[in-house]
Chains A and B, each alone.
Chain A
Amino acid sequence: MKYEQASHLQYSVLKLTGEVDLHNSPQVRKQLLAILNAGHSVLVDFAALSYIDSSGIATLVEAFNLAKNKALSLTIIEATGAPLQVLELTNLNKVFPMLASLDDVKE
């Protein structure tokens, strides 16, 4: 798993590449919480993500709850394939704001 951080409009973008599992989800958690604790809303880019397990999903839930408490947002971008299946299986596709691409993000 690799991640890259960038900016898009007023948002921080965390682009995840590869597979997020129990081995590396703590790294994702650290990055997401740091972005939110710095006061930025976050777009989590799933375009290059091929797999995410429940530890990755739990990280997203924790970050989503933190964002809400801080009046910030966490939006998932371009979830497809296996990661989208996991979100659908857990019904979290109805909880997280989700957009088809970064082009759909409004200021």
Chain B
Amino acid sequence: MKLVLTHEYTSCTTQLCKIREKVRITCAQMGFKEADINLITLVIDEACSNIIRYAYCGDKSGRIILEIFQAETEAIFHLQDFAKCITASCLEVKEKKLTEPGGLGLKMMHQVMDSVTLLPPTSAIGNILELKKRLPEGL
């Protein structure tokens, strides 16, 4: 597994466009087509938005580390925060009506990615969210 990109951001909403740009460029370099790049960029943005809103509760000084790896058959995205540890149940999608608010970002993460997992914490604080997406055929 090769580390393709690592970048640290603050937990400020102004950083989201910068994160999206890095993800778009890296996904294009890994051979994803435009439609997949759009969706992967969307879900990484959604995951970062959730970290800003729920992990750091709007505190703009938190740290978010984005790492992108290329494995033999998949792209692996790690998003690390240093907020209070959450449990895997926070990643479960609750069934709602289409016009009911809440949970949309998480639902999209599960729809777009092949796996969405919380890695075991490496320290007393923080979380690492791992998202995997199969690389395009023929690479």
Known contacts being A19-B17, A54-B49, is A82 close to B42, with CB within 8 Å?
yes
Residues of chain B lying within 8 A (CB to CB) of residue A89: 39, 108, 111-112
Contact of B16 among A21, A54, A58, A94 (CB under 8 A): A21
Residues of chain B lying within 8 A (CB to CB) of residue A22: 13, 16, 49, 52-53
Chain A's interface: helix, strand, loop or mixed, by majority?
Answer: helix
B89 within 8 A of A: no
Residues of chain B lying within 8 A (CB to CB) of residue A61: 98-99, 101
A17 within 8 A of B: no
Number of interface residues of B (CB under 8 A): 25
Within 8 A of B (CB), among A51-78: 51, 53-55, 57-58, 61-62, 64-65
Within 8 A of A (CB), among B12-63: 13-14, 16-17, 20, 35, 38-39, 41-42, 45-46, 49, 52-53
Residues of chain A lying within 8 A (CB to CB) of residue B102: 58
Considering the chains assembled together, what is the distance between the CA atoms of A89 and B41 in angstroms?
14
- 24 example contacts (A-B, Cβ-Cβ < 8 A) are as follows A21-B16, A21-B20, A22-B13, A22-B52, A23-B13, A23-B16, A23-B17, A51-B42, A54-B46, A54-B49, A54-B108, A55-B49, A62-B101, A64-B99, A82-B38, A82-B41, A82-B42, A85-B39, A85-B42, A86-B108, A90-B104, A90-B107, A91-B98, A92-B98
**Which residues of A are at the interface with B, using a C-beta cutoff of 8 A?**
19, 21-23, 51, 53-55, 57-58, 61-62, 64-65, 81-82, 85-86, 89-92, 94-95
